[in-house]
Amino acid sequence: MHTNSYYIKRVMCASVTTLTFSTKTENLIGKPYQIVNTEEEDDGDPVVNVCDSQIYCQGPILAAANLFGLYNDSKDYVDQPLKDYPNITLKSFNDTFLDPQTGLYNYTNVTLKSWIDAHFLPPGDELDNCTEILIGWTDKPEKLSSRIADPELREWAFKLHGIWKELCKKISANVANHSELHSLIPVPNEFIIPGGRFREFYYWDTYWVIKGLLASELYKTAENVILNLVSMLHKLGFVPNGGRVYYEKRSQPPFLIPMVYEYYENTGNKTFLQMVLNDLDTEFNFWQTNRSVVVNINGTDHTVYRYNTPSNVPRPESYKEDLATAKNFTSNAARKQLWRNLASTAESGLDFSTRWFKDHLTLSTIETTNIVPVDLNALLCWNMNLMEYLANEAGNTSMSAHYHYLRSNFTNTFDTIFYNQEGAWFDYHLENKAQRYCAANDTSCFYPAIAVPLFASCYRDVDLRKPEKLFLFINNTGAFNYAGGVPASLIQNSNEQWDFPNGWPTLNHMIIEGLRKSENPIAQEQAFQIARKWVLSNYRVFNATGHMWEKYDVIDPLPHPGSGGEYVVQDGFGWTNGVILDLLMHYGDRLFINDCTKDSTSSDVDASNINLILVLFMGTFVVYFKL
């Protein structure tokens, strides 16, 4: 019996649902719950599992636990620690359920649940609280005390600051000593979890966590959190999606270099910078080596980047969901490509959004590996710029010169591939060999990704009109018109969490920061107005629910937590708290609770007055901005 070469059938027997696993190579194409055949095939696409674990990443126990519906959330199974070693657990499973004569596993949901309860501990059992090791803790940090004018907002900030104690975790001694019993990957220091079902750290979440920790003056914790990611880099050669073994084949948006930049700018700790500089170079090289693709435009080759994970099996943490998405696919090759696209979208952090769907409607048409995302490329452009600066600060002039050269060339590539003269940046489609452009009045056009080049400053200094033109383009889509902030798209009724009506802290923060850092006063004022909406709507929801949330419905004038996606909305919440604390660092002197009464259902900056306002504010720059 090869435990990684099996098929699955669902058999209904009266009121009892029984699963039978067969190693026979019978044709089950089109049956509802078929697992991809892991034997060699002629499609030239060998199966790539997400990790080697026969408990957490592949094997009959993972399949049975999910297909029997024992868990409302697939992630609960893969987060459970084992009570005994994996080989002993797997042998027990086979001894209990496998019929050696037929090669079939036979059990009911009752016997299976009883066996799992006997061999696994509850999820979350592997983490310890770390209240006592938050070095430098004070209940009311000076930054929050001095930069927030409104007393109610200041008290709220202190409460959010206090939540770090709840979200701060450390690996238990059992995980450190017996990592084979856990899906959690051991790291040396404390870390901040998002909250809710997310019982581990996540890569791109950590950037906004770092921003919040720096506002809270928890500099040592910020340093330790970064060092955890560096330890993952040493282990895997890149920073994975998160701190579990089932994330070992995919990453997330590249924010390690920006994290170190933010930490260094706040602390001036050159010793730390010099210690991790080569690791940052390794992280960038991972993307350059493993996620690059060449696009030819008018006879010139351009190297750009995409999300493209090697795994092509169901994600363990979303196992039953991925099987359901593939149920109408008629070949193993098609299923494997679907699962690669689903995992690659998880690598983007935006899982899921109609942005990645071929028909802008249906998850099964997902084609993420065919898309060259403008935001990923803008972030890597930013990484190049930051590496030039950080290497120079660390005294490595040759590395600094190398990244200066890379960015100088890449800004030309970036304009060529992504910029459209309508005034915005767009994704590029590899198969169609064209930008995914659409007009501002097309509701399928707007995604916050188009603003990330401003956030990442990936445009030449002489391009003075680009911030203004982007502001006008987004303004014309209507995306600025909502009461609680900017939605993740304008695609309605998709039921995907990274679509309308949800607004996300990360996306709103990048839009705000991109507009704020521009030299255009109109864009800067719009940044403040979005920040005002976001902060005050978050405040109102906190007062109503007592919690911070991962996402919010930004459409309803009465703000509330978001919805949609593969799981219910989660509270906590690491990156949400970090975004609020950072925005209060920038705008705390201008934000007041009584602003909640201001009408914010339409765009706060009148684009028709841009000529007049620009003349008043910009003076000699009118020649560059006049419309």
Whether residue 253 is found in the same domain as residue 234: yes
pLDDT digits (tens, 9 = 90+) for 239-280: 999 999 999 999 999 999 999 999 999 999 999 999 999 999
pLDDT digits (tens, 9 = 90+) for 451-464: 999 999 998 876 77
- For the full predicted model, state whether its pTM sits above 0.95: no
pLDDT digits (tens, 9 = 90+) for 507-557: 999 999 999 999 889 999 999 999 999 999 999 999 999 999 999 999 998
Question: What does the pLDDT read at residue 19?
Answer: 37
Whether residue 31 is found in the same domain as residue 139: no
> Does residue 570 belong to any structural domain of this protein?
yes
Question: What does the pLDDT read at residue 559?
Answer: 86
Scan for tokens 């206090």, then name that residue.
162
Question: What does the pLDDT read at residue 465?
Answer: 86
Scan for tokens 């430098």, then name that residue.
136
DSSP 403-471: HHHHHHHHHHHHHHHHEETTTEE--EETTTTEE----TT-TTS--GGGGHHHHTT-S-TT-TTHHHHHH
Domain that holds residue 107: 7-70+83-119
Average pLDDT across the chain, whole number: 89
Q: How far apart are CA 585 and CA 381, in angstroms?
A: 26
Question: What does the pLDDT read at residue 42?
Answer: 55
DSSP 44-56: S-----S-S-TTT
Please give the single-letter amino acid code of residue 466: K
Closest CA to 160 of 593, 546, 486: 546
> Does residue 338 belong to any structural domain of this protein?
no
Whether residue 364 is found in the same domain as residue 442: yes
> Does residue 327 belong to any structural domain of this protein?
no
Distances (CA, A) of 534 to 265, 582, 596: 26, 12, 11
Question: What does the pLDDT read at residue 58?
Answer: 97
For the segment 42-66, the average pLDDT, to the nearest whole number, is: 92
Is the pLDDT at 366 greater than 70, yes or no? yes
Whether residue 290 is found in the same domain as residue 198: yes
The percent of residues in the chain predicted with pLDDT above 70, rounded, is 87
Residue 417 tokens read as 């591939």
Q: How far apart are CA 297 and CA 400, in angstroms?
A: 29
For the segment 193-204, the average pLDDT, to the nearest whole number, is: 95
Residue 149 tokens read as 């004018």
Is the pLDDT at 39 greater than 80, yes or no? no
Whether residue 530 is found in the same domain as residue 587: yes
472 touches 423 (CB < 8 A)? yes
> Does residue 75 belong to any structural domain of this protein?
no
Closest CA to 457 of 527, 516, 395: 516
Q: How confident is the model at residue 77 (pLDDT cuts 50, 70, 90)?
A: very high
Least confident piece of the model among 4-13, 154-163, 398-407: 4-13
The tally of domains found in the chain comes to: 2
> Does residue 325 belong to any structural domain of this protein?
no
61 touches 113 (CB < 8 A)? no
Whether residue 415 is found in the same domain as residue 537: yes
Whether residue 232 is found in the same domain as residue 290: yes
Total Cβ atoms within 10 A of residue 219: 16
> Does residue 37 belong to any structural domain of this protein?
yes
CA angle centred on 253, ends 248 and 254, rounded to 5°:
90
Can you give the CATH number for the domain in which 183 is found? 1.50.10.10
Question: What does the pLDDT read at residue 371?
Answer: 99
> Does residue 177 belong to any structural domain of this protein?
yes
> Does residue 333 belong to any structural domain of this protein?
no
Q: Which residues carry out catalysis?
A: 351, 550
Is the pLDDT at 41 greater than 70, yes or no? no
pLDDT digits (tens, 9 = 90+) for 83-138: 999 999 999 999 999 999 988 999 899 999 999 999 999 998 899 999 777 899 99
Question: What does the pLDDT read at residue 316?
Answer: 98
Q: How far apart are CA 486 and CA 505, in angstroms?
A: 10
Whether residue 204 is found in the same domain as residue 232: yes
Question: What does the pLDDT read at residue 89?
Answer: 99
For the segment 480-501, the average pLDDT, to the nearest whole number, is: 96
CA 239 to chain centre: 13
Q: How confident is the model at residue 584 (pLDDT cuts 50, 70, 90)?
A: very high
CA 469 to chain centre: 28
Whether residue 108 is found in the same domain as residue 152: no
Scan for tokens 């060529």, then name that residue.
416
Least confident piece of the model among 138-152, 212-226, 245-259, 605-619: 605-619
Whether residue 498 is found in the same domain as residue 618: yes
Residue 291 tokens read as 């996620």
Q: How confident is the model at residue 328 (pLDDT cuts 50, 70, 90)?
A: very high
In terms of pLDDT, which residue wins out, 44 or 95? 95
Whether residue 247 is found in the same domain as residue 394: yes
Tell me if the bond preceding 501 is cis, omega within 30° of 0. yes
510 touches 455 (CB < 8 A)? yes
CA 562 to chain centre: 16
Length of the chain equals: 627
pLDDT digits (tens, 9 = 90+) for 153-188: 999 999 999 999 999 999 999 999 999 999 999 999
3-state DSSP call for residue 107?
strand
Q: How confident is the model at residue 596 (pLDDT cuts 50, 70, 90)?
A: low
Whether residue 364 is found in the same domain as residue 467: yes
For the segment 370-382, the average pLDDT, to the nearest whole number, is: 99
The percent of residues in the chain predicted with pLDDT above 90, rounded, is 79
Question: What does the pLDDT read at residue 20?
Answer: 39
